[in-house]
Chain A
């Protein structure tokens, strides 16, 4: 286990170094000068040079990368000269909103999709199974931002049941404000996970130990939830771990549409303003987040499946 965690840590560092270096090269290859954007039409070359110096953009690229990594080792993500605040403060103030959005989306997507997938598997080729299949594919096909816009129009504007924008204040209000955005993000996963659980469940239900359990006269529901599901759910857990990356991308759109805080909204603003320190800070944190989520999904897999535990 310790070896596994060390291996994961090395992998995380490697991924972060690679991602950050690639991003550094990419953002400097893309045209657009933050000084020109920030200072606007009346900026003189002297003023732009001054801002370049403040942002460290006047130094060679290699020096900028090394400085960034050196800072990263000290837990310093840099400084945003636009707002005069440490990048870490900015990113970590936004991160909890994105994490709660992702977790709630995953939670309710799984809460609906897993029983649905199990039921479809148990009633294979029934009308309900066929219907769930059609709806599942339809929800997968609809992009989350389209779902976000329509959810907002229907439930916030037309029906006025739920708030349209923002994160809310306090726990209850915060949950109410999470309903629409998490619905928009999670709905595609309902279809995807239910299909995955169904396929996995069908495979598991055909295995010998399940047939053995049936021969003992154990009820079908008990067989499904006690014996089949813990095994059938393993691929889904792996997918959910990897799915955090997908959900982070979806969060960019959803946070903009619902005017929610979060690192998605933050990175859109930062990229448009060519605010490199913020872009770098967000990428480091999201890369780390993805590594953590895949590690957690592996650990959960291991706790459910002794065979997987042996491989750690």
Chain B
């Protein structure tokens, strides 16, 4: 009771009194809007994730990176717009000295909060090397990174063991490129490890003013920030894990920006809430049907090809996404280097040809299992494929599992489940570089993330070569061939890359996103 009474301050009482006094009915606004209406330039956004860590070296989800972008500076950042590109951020200059060395020079005057001084090359070195030293899950973003050599306070050279081109599209502008204060992190964690949700210092335009788990994250302007000022005084990020709830929250006026589900897109387009802009962006996702090549039922390539040809991809996409997503031509999403113009197997498939393959395999009354996660869309895809395969006499049993269980079904370290796994729907997120898409299909990943257990020396050779080629056109050719190899194995039927529809209130904000619809809050401007 004491706590309750203490919570009632004058402001709260006035807000509550005013709201309850009839303002609600008079204005037609929900109470929450009435209460927050008069509080400066506040950006209110829905985030489909509850933050777990704001440490760029140990983050757990891409959603956390959206927030980190506001809190820390990094050498480069993604440009908003419809084409992938990057701009300098904390770096005054970044240049490729030779294939394994990149020199950077930091802008002067970027300060850490809390009296931790200026952002220096030493902090860049610390920020990158701690990821390796602590064997963080972000290590994959650093590729063949080895160490950083410091030349002077603001200049350093990033050294790679072997050439690594994705440094420009992943390492620098994404999560692991964020610069944290060595002094502050060591003081907070002793060993330079994960500081979780307690960032000891900030180097970006905003600071974390308040974080209430499962309630909101409040970012306010960094008083020590000397760079260009973003458009909003505060960013209020509301975690709404259920996308349908996020849609309702937007419709009710509780947030002004939200990502919506693809199955709601038609409704939002045909009957948008007032003052709303609906935007569709291609996604970086890749969703495919995989086949375990080591399973006895799928060892024969003719069986796998029969399955490939029996699947009508536009039909699957139409059923699962209401036709609002693309038909994939391969693993790599549109707009990314290596995206193929078309698949080897026509998207519509061909039932007659599928039956031919099945006859060639001499198989009849085939019964297979199809595993997927139970997050909704994969289940619909699985059921559609189940119906399609029944047309060539293959009976499919769909096993939908929770994401935690499904996520390890093909991993040898998790027991023998991988042996019984036959067909499965993978729905993987990615980053804007082809290496991130293809890295899971190399032989070293068999039994880890290569659940098809596909193995090809040629593929591995191309994969190793492709990360070192700077010319995007030349690089793309290798990825075309790699996707061809995957498809020729019969173990893959690429379905879609999905899409990311967003909505925002045009009377309040002008949203800015990456080409894949991921919000760049720093580039949002008030309407």
Interface set of B (CB-CB < 8 Å, partner A): 4, 7-9, 11-13, 15-17, 19-20, 24, 28-33, 35, 50, 52-53, 60, 135-137, 139-141, 194-198, 212-216, 238-242, 245-246, 248-249, 251-255, 402-405, 407-409, 411, 413-415, 417, 428, 439-440, 448-449
Contacts and interface: CB of A to CB of B under 8 A. Distances in A.
Given A84-B198, A156-B252, A259-B249, A167 B215 contact: yes
Interface residues of A, number: 66
Nearest to A164: B252
A161 B24 contact: yes
A198 B344 CA distance: 71
A46 B13 contact: no
Most buried by B among A33, A51, A165: A165
Interface in A136-165: 152-153, 156-157, 160-165
Contacts of A165: 238, 240, 245, 248-249, 252, 254-255
A273 B404 contact: yes
A42 B449 CA distance: 8
A266 B7 contact: no
Given A33-B408, A152-B248, A171-B7, A46 B135 contact: yes
A136 B404 CA distance: 39
11 contacts: A32-B407, A41-B428, A84-B197, A93-B213, A152-B252, A160-B252, A161-B24, A164-B30, A164-B252, A165-B240, A165-B254
10 closest A-B pairs by CB: A42-B140, A172-B16, A84-B196, A170-B12, A261-B214, A39-B137, A32-B404, A163-B32, A164-B252, A156-B252
A43 interface: yes
A156 B250 CA distance: 10
Given A41-B449, A176-B20, 17 more contacts: A30-B405, A31-B417, A32-B408, A45-B413, A47-B135, A51-B137, A84-B196, A85-B196, A85-B197, A156-B248, A157-B248, A164-B248, A168-B32, A171-B4, A173-B19, A173-B32, A261-B215
B24 A269 contact: no
Contacts of B215: 166-167, 261
Given A31-B414, A83-B196, A170-B16, A163 B248 contact: no
B217 to A, nearest CB: 12
Nearest to B246: A259
Nearest to A160: B30
Contacts of B8: 170-172
Given A32-B408, A259-B239, A259-B242, A41 B440 contact: yes
Contact of A32 (B16, B240, B405): B405
Nearest to B49: A269
A166 B238 contact: yes
Nearest to B240: A259
Contacts of A94: 213-214
Interface string A241-263: 00000000000000111111110
Given A261-B215, A272-B404, A172 B252 contact: no
Contact of B241 (A167, A169, A177, A259): A259
Interface string A34-77: 10111111111111101100000000000000000000000000
Contacts of A39: 137
A31 B407 CA distance: 9
A134 B241 CA distance: 36
